[in-house]
Structure 1
Amino acid sequence: MNTIPVAILCGGKGTRLKEETEFRPKPMVRVGDRPMIWHIMKTYAHYGFTDFLLCLGYKGNLIREYFFNYDWNHNDVMLELGNKRVTRLNSSHPEENWRIWLIDTGQETMTGGRLKRLAPYLDQIGSDLFMATYGDGVCNVNIKDLLEFHRSHGKLATMTVVHPASRFGEMSIENNLVTFFQEKPQTSAGWINGGYFVLHRQVLELIEGNETIFESDPLKALAAKGELAVYKHESFWQCMDTYRELELLNKLYNSGKALWKVW
């Protein structure tokens, strides 16, 4: 088991997806039969990273309950009603070696503040490096290649960048007939922050407190110091900011075209 932990930002209110997030935190919105956070964690676990620091906030109790009851909900069990003894009938499941820190990082804390609150747990784990991502986006980035790239340049931070998805469908037209159509493809122009960071713990020193947005002053400071490298990911990436994007992810998953499913 790798000792480099993975921090996942799970505390936001997800107001642009209020159809779902009125009732649950965005990482608990289901894609297929499992919540989004499970898909993200499965990607990291596929590459051997199974220590997870979950930065909880809005409706964090639902994330706690999901993982506390994970064995109960995802195994065949025998329950003896008299003494309430539970016997697991399955010998094992693929996620049983995961270690999950469920950390309350505050209801209103910004992304930087949430990462700052991980400092004592990083001390306990004893790793100078940690990875971080958001709880609402999936991709098929090779995590081992990303880590190797980070170690190769010696900078404090690596940010995975991706091509944004087009707002509209892309089509080719000949003789007033559509010959090709693709719904919301990723464009070839420009790069955006795709999450999937590798960070040295010194990065936390650039975060002042709960009000600090990680994507603002800390990343700007790293860039100004020449300490922010980018890992260009040309393949699949998709966030889940809107209900339409949730529908797209479910459509891909249910049709067997979930390109992020590398496990």
Structure 2
Amino acid sequence: MKTVILCGGYGTRIRDVADDIPKPMIPIGGKPIIWHIMKTYAHYGHQDFILCMGYKSEVIKDFFINYELRSADVTIKLGKKSEQIVSETNHDEDGWQITLAETGIKAMTGARVRRIKKYISDDPMFMLTYGDGVGDIDIEALVAFHKSHGKMVTLTGVRPPGRFGELGIAEDGSTITGFNEKPQASGGRINGGYFVCNREFLDILSDAEDLVLEQEPMKKLVELGELKVFEHDGFWQPMDTSREYSLLNELYNNNQAPWVKWKKK
């Protein structure tokens, strides 16, 4: 099953961190956030990726086209017939297949997904997510849930992470009983991405550049009764601000990143 990742947006809310690279290439622990997302899927055996690119796509292409060279020891013989010998590859991404699809600079999310239809080919299902958020999603359970209900699309419903510190206050109104710097909301759920879609969902989409996946297409699915939610109560965190960038890097650098399952094999 192929995994489609939306990574063509401008990411204007996090320009104060990096304004010269696309948002999915902003690093966590030295690796782009999109790499972390792909590692999550690969952990569950899904290694066939389609990246829907737009803004500064050349940065993403450069990273993956030169991935082997950057991950390996290289011996170079200079001269008229120069040679480059790659040895001692130092990565665990053997077998990954990555299609780098140019889906337009100005295209919105719905149009981007529609434009990679040819790469889905005759596969009955595909997975879809955003290139700017990580979570400890159980992909195997997500896919099993989707197959169990027979509807067209499943999205992962997550608890929105709190953006401000939360204080626990005693009945006297002034004594602090708890301090949670980054609480998780206990109320409703929001769309956390990590979709599983039947192929026919692509027929609901159009090539119009202004088609937003989360608007008309999702509303159409609701009207048809074809949208289900996979409830996820674990970790989920987007990278929308410099504060969230710092949080994710702090978690990773301190070996406290809940989404990093591949190191636990």
Relative to the length of structure 1, the TM-score reads: 0.95
Q: Deviations over 1:84-116 (max 9, x none)?
A: 322222156311210000000000000000000
8 Å Cα contact 1:157-1:197 kept in structure 2: yes
After TM superposition, list the pairs within 5 Å mapping 1:33-182 onto structure 2.
33-82=30-79, 83-90=81-88, 93-123=91-121, 126-174=122-170, 176-182=174-180
Measured against aligned partners, the alpha-carbon deviations of 1:153-190 in whole angstroms (never above 9, x if no partner) come to 00000000100112321222347443321112111100
> What is the CA–CA distance in structure 1 between the aligned matches of 2:60 and 2:178, rounded to whole Å?
42
The amino acid that maps onto 1:219 is M
Match of 2:192 in 1: 194
The letter of the residue matching 1:213 is V
CA RMSD of aligned residues (A): 1.3
Separation in structure 2 between the aligned mates of residue 179 and residue 74 of structure 1, nearest angstrom? 48
Q: Counterpart amino acid of 2:158? A: V
Amino acid at match of 1:259: P
Question: Take 2:52 and 2:24, find their aligned partners in 1: how far apart are those partners?
Answer: 11
Moved more, 87-96 or 202-211: 87-96
2:71–2:89 CA contact under 8 A, matched in 1: no
Shift, 1:20, TM fit = 3.4
Identity fraction in percent:
47
SS in 2 for 1:203: helix
Residue type at the aligned position of 2:194: Y
The yes-or-no answer on 1:17 pairing with 2:9 is no
Structure 1 unaligned blocks of 5 or more: none
Query: Which 10-residue stretch deviates more, 194-203 or 87-96?
Result: 87-96
Cα shift readout 1:222-244 (whole Å, capped 9, x = no counterpart): 01111000000000000001111
* Structure 1 contact 9–134 (Cα < 8 Å) conserved: yes
Deviation of the 1:212 alpha carbon = 0.6
- Given that 1:20 and 1:26 are in contact with CA atoms closer than 8 Å, whether structure 2 keeps it comes out as no
Q: CA deviation at 1:150?
A: 0.2
Distance 1:27 1:118, change over 3 A: same
Letter in 2 for 1:74: S
1:244/1:44 CA distance change after superposition, 3 Å:
same
Query: How far apart, in 1, do the equivalents of 2:55 and 2:178 lie?
Result: 42
Deviation at 1:138, TM superposition (A): 0.2
- Aligned partners of 2:50, 2:108: CA distance in 1, in Å? 16
Structure 2 alignment gaps of length 5 or more: none
Q: Distance in 1 between matches of 2:124 and 2:217?
A: 18
User: How many corresponding residue pairs?
Assistant: 258
User: Which amino acid is the alignment partner of residue 214 of structure 2?
Assistant: E
Give the aligned residue type for 1:119. K
Distance 2:254 2:9 in 1: 29
Q: Which residue of 1 aligns with 2:216?
A: 217
